[in-house]
């Protein structure tokens, strides 16, 4: 399938249906916050936004190996939109998850939503490569994606960031009813949309949704939940990553050929 996609061939709709429907069943049974255990001596790869860059995704696998139980990945949201190969990216990630669920974990990003897909290209691409029925099906499956992951009870991985209120516990995130389009405010919205800022406290978001949060907010959240580190995505980084907040927060971006360098990612 991946070789066909490299040669810009399409997958028959029947197989695409099988993959997406199986994915829906698998994701429905997962909690909103997924715990991941990585054994001592093993490694684990977290990837940031891919944004429809299929050839970047292939490049990641060529450099780092295909996902397997011995080589697990977490893709941290924003699989689709902007790039021209969002259908290929999402079907590849879903098919890998169906083949070996413990080899690959998928989190929801702010672009796994109906309103963003309408504006930024995924909806139109799905219509042209698959059908109108798939537009609805993908929207439904995106609502089943978990909102965050915790690796070895120490590393919190989320697409966007932290919250407008103090004292949020991991149990509060687990309790979020995620089976919906992202709301304009509240925990789910902030998990998908927020960004770090270089100064303390909280501020308005440059995006108009979510908020900006400082190193003190990061430190307090980590202390409240006995965590060591936050890994998030959501912003373009020229080097592919950036370490902030006294080393307690890492942003990862995984679409090196991302064409339009804009704030909203």
Per residue in 48-81, pLDDT (tens digit) is 999 999 999 999 999 999 999 999 999 999 999 9
Stretch 207-234: mean pLDDT: 97
Let me know if residue 132 belongs to a domain.
Answer: yes
Stretch 144-165: mean pLDDT: 98
Torsion of CA 158, 164, 169, 174, to 10 degrees: -50
Let me know if residue 129 belongs to a domain.
Answer: yes
Let me know if residue 263 belongs to a domain.
Answer: no
User: What is the predicted pLDDT for the residue at 258?
Assistant: 60
Q: Over the chain, what is the mean pLDDT?
A: 95
Percent of the chain whose pLDDT exceeds 90: 93
Domain extent for 164: 2-252
Let me know if residue 261 belongs to a domain.
Answer: no
Let me know if residue 156 belongs to a domain.
Answer: yes
Q: How many CA atoms lie within 13 A of 217 on its CB side?
A: 22
Considering its fold, how many domains does the chain have in total? 1
DSSP 112: S
Q: How many residues does the chain have?
A: 265
Let me know if residue 59 belongs to a domain.
Answer: yes
CATH number of the domain residue 191 falls in: 3.60.21.10
**Residue 251 φ/ψ, nearest 5 degrees:** -100, 130
Q: Catalytic residues, which ones?
A: 111
User: What is the predicted pLDDT for the residue at 216?
Assistant: 98
Beta pairing, strands 229-232 & 155-158: parallel
Let me know if residue 258 belongs to a domain.
Answer: no
Gap between the Cα atoms of 1 and 16, Å rounded: 11
Let me know if residue 262 belongs to a domain.
Answer: no
pLDDT category, 259, cuts 50, 70, 90? low
Retrieve residue 169's tokens. 């516990």
pLDDT value at 261 more than 90: no
Q: Do 128 and 200 touch, CB atoms closer than 8 A?
A: no
pLDDT category, 256, cuts 50, 70, 90? confident
């Amino acid at each position: 399938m991946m070789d066909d996609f490299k040669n810009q061939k399409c997958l028959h709709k029947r197989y695409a249906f099988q993959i997406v429907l199986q994915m829906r069943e698998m994701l429905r049974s997962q909690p909103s916050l997924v715990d991941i255990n990585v054994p001592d001596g093993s490694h684990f790869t977290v990837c940031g936004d891919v944004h429809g860059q299929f050839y970047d995704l292939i490049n990641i696998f060529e450099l780092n190996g295909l996902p397997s139980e011995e080589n697990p990945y977490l893709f941290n949201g924003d699989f689709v939109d902007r790039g021209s190969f969002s259908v290929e990216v999402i079907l590849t990630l879903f098919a890998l998850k169906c083949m070996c669920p413990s080899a690959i974990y998928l989190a929801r990003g702010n672009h796994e939503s109906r309103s963003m897909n309408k504006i930024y290209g995924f909806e139109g691409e799905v219509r042209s490569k698959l059908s109108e029925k798939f537009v609805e099906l993908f929207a439904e499956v995106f609502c089943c994606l978990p909102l965050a992951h915790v690796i070895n009870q120490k590393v919190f991985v989320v697409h966007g960031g932290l919250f407008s209120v103090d004292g949020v516990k991991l149990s509060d995130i687990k309790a979020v009813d995620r089976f919906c389009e992202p709301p304009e405010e509240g925990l789910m919205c902030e998990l998908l949309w927020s960004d770090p800022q270089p100064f303390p406290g909280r501020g308005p978001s440059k995006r108009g949704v979510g908020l900006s949060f400082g190193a003190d907010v990061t430190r307090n959240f980590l202390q409240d939940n006995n965590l060591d580190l936050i890994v998030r995505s959501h912003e373009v980084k020229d080097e592919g990553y950036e370490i902030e907040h006294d080393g307690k927060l890492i942003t990862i971006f995984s679409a090196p050929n991302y064409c339009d360098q804009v704030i909203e990612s």
